[in-house]
Amino acid sequence: MDNAKLILNGQEYEFPTFAGSEGEVGIDFAALRSQTKAISYDPGYGNTGSCSSAITFINGEKGILRYRGYPIEQVAENASFVEVCYLLIYGDLPNREQLESFQHDLTYHTMIHEDMKKFFEGFPPSAHPMAILASMVISLSAYYPGANDPENIDLNIVRLLAKIKTLAAFAYKKSIGQPYVYPRNDLSYTADFMHMMFAVPAEPYQVPDVLERALNLLLILHADHEQNCSTSTVRMVGSSQADLFASIGAGICALWGPLHGGANQQVIQMLEMIQADGGDYQKYINMAKDKDSGFRLFGFGHRVYKNFDPRARILKQSADEVLGALGVKDPLLAIAKNLEEITLKDEYFVERKLYPNVDFYSGIIYRAMGIPTDMFTVLFALGRLPGWIAQWKEMRDDPKTRINRPRQIYTGATERSFVPLNKR
């Protein structure tokens, strides 16, 4: 491939180009500033590649998503979440022995230090579970010092994957004032989480198969999505050589925002508002189109997908199946489908290529499963964890990694003399 040429102030500069395995082209601007004294300006990094990565491929124009080369549709149909964790983190599908050993490790590291229960007691009952989850994940660093030592990395990966569901379920139990339910080693990853969420000491609890399957699907669909806001945060924090727990804790905070993982909670609140307004869809569509309203249709639009989000397609179908199997009739499902139909014909959304994203139908499934609204983003975090870990590990092992440190174009005051307070 030819070099790229840039003409600046009449002078020509050349920059090397390279292509990825799917033909995507990059221009290597690493020497841009040293050669030209100029920097590239790209707020929101819409055109900026911060790394090369072999984990996840997305073609937003065609609606393609693949984990390590495997189409998301095939992974969602056939895999267990634990298998997907292994695939993303270690690069290939595990054989039976590798899977059993990994599953065993994830089962026998689920307990948290008893002292950590005191942390939960310190939070007010109204605390958002994302605040608790982020704090708890970072706190794991205090219990496993030396987390950055190469010989501890694999063990800490297992610890984090195993313990995060215990931390998430404890955060929920704390918020409703029920006793914590300890993990059980005879249950699968997903069933164990549901058990810790919904079991109470007074009676036996059997996790319904449909819930286990639905959670497995949801976690798989959220497992990685290349360089999104939270993943880039994990890589950025990790680039300073902060340890795994600190880097992932930062990623959890980034995920929390309503434009990212927090959108699933916002979608349900928006659908409830439409319901309370007697199904006045147009009012909300008009508000979303009005830039002064500050309102957006949550669960719509995506930086990368300009066709459809394949995860939303799978979830729309799954919403019908899960609600049917659970015998749940949720009027919000019909409202969501109507909203989608009307929106997809609206010129504003068509022109801007805005389609439902992963957050649009996930909340309806979580609701049917009995998950409270403010736990939705926590479930997103549980699903995204293997992706964050895989990306953190790849960043760490990449010899090209340097501390992430973007530049800026300064637009403030030029030099002026300081005036002491008594003279101002």
Annotated active-site residue 359? The verdict is: yes
Site mask for ligand CMC (CB under 6 A), range 61-100, x = bound: ----------------------------------------
302 is catalytic: yes
**DSSP H or E segment with residue 411:** none
Q: Give me the helices (H) in 93-152, please.
A: 96-107, 116-122, 129-143
Q: Which is nearer to ligand CMC, 47 or 422 (CB)?
A: 47
Binding window for ligand CMC (CB under 6 A); candidates: 103-111, 154-162, 236-244, 299-307: 299-307
Between 188 and 357, whose beta carbon lies closer to ligand CMC? 357
Binding segment toward ligand CMC, per CB under 6 A, in 70-78, 176-184, 200-208, 254-262: 254-262
CB of 275 to ligand CMC, least distance (A): 19
Residue 169 token pair: 């379920």
- Which of 243, 309, 346, 359 is flagged as catalytic? 359
Decide if 172 contacts 371 (C-beta within 8 A). no
Q: Should residue 359 be labelled a site residue for ligand CMC when binding is judged by CB under 6 A?
A: yes
Nearer of residues 199 and 263 to ligand CMC, judged by Cβ: 263
Asked if 228 contacts 359 with a C-beta cutoff of 8 angstroms, the reply is: no
- d(Cα 336, Cα 332) in Å, to the nearest integer? 6
How are beta strands 4-8 and 64-67 bridged, if at all?
Answer: unpaired
Complex with ligand CMC: residue 193 or 380, whichever CB lies closer = 380
CA 200/CA 173 separation, integer angstroms = 10
The binder of ligand CMC chosen from 132, 250, 254, 358 (CB under 6 A): 358
Interface pick for ligand CMC out of 129, 249, 261, 387 (rule CB under 6 A): 261
Per-residue binder mask for ligand CMC (CB under 6 A), 325-354, x = binder: ---------------------------x-x
Which region among 23-31, 186-194, 294-302, 412-420 touches ligand CMC (by CB under 6 A)? Answer: 294-302
**What distance in Å separates the CA atoms of residue 249 and residue 234, rounded to the nearest whole number?**
8
CB 81 within 8 A of CB 216: yes
- What is the separation of C-alpha 12 from the centre of its chain, rounded to a whole number of angstroms? 41
If residue 7 lies in a helix (H) or strand (E), which one and from where to where? strand 4-8
- Residue 390 binding ligand CMC, by CB under 6 A: no
Instruction: Compute the least distance from the CB of residue 281 to ligand CMC, in Å.
Output: 13
Site for ligand CMC contains 301 (CB under 6 A): yes
Nearest residue to the partner ligand CMC, using Cβ? 301
CB of residue 363 to ligand CMC, shortest distance in Å: 11
**Judged by CB under 6 A, how many residues of this single chain contact ligand CMC?**
20
Residue from 302, 316, 367, 393 in contact with ligand CMC (CB under 6 A) = 302
Specify the amino acid at residue 118: K
As a whole number of angstroms, the distance between CA 52 and CA 400 comes to 9
62-66 long-range contacts, CB within 8 A, separation 24+: 62/307, 63/305, 63/307, 63/308, 63/309, 63/310, 63/313, 64/310, 65/225, 65/310, 65/311
Q: Does 303 bind ligand CMC (CB under 6 A)?
A: yes
And the tokens for 292? 């002064």
**Where is 402: in which H helix or E strand?**
none
Q: Which of 195, 225, 302, 346 is catalytic?
A: 302
Q: Is 128 helix (H, G, I), strand (E, B) or coil?
A: coil
Which residue in 188, 190, 232, 357 binds ligand CMC (CB under 6 A)?
357
Binds ligand CMC (CB under 6 A): choice among 174, 195, 235, 260: 260
Residues 244 and 235 sit within 8 Å (Cβ to Cβ): no
- Report CA 39 to chain centroid distance, whole Å: 30
| Coil, helix or strand at residue 26 | strand
Nearest approach, Cβ of residue 334 and ligand CMC (Å): 20
The reply on whether position 268 binds ligand CMC by CB under 6 A is no
On whether the CB atoms of residues 272 and 237 are closer than 8 A, the answer is no
Residues between 22 and 61 with contacts to ligand CMC, criterion CB under 6 A? 44
Q: Which is nearer to ligand CMC, 173 or 225 (CB)?
A: 225
* Residue positions annotated with a catalytic role: 302, 359
Binding site for ligand CMC (CB under 6 A): 44, 228, 259-261, 263, 288, 296-303, 352, 354, 357-359
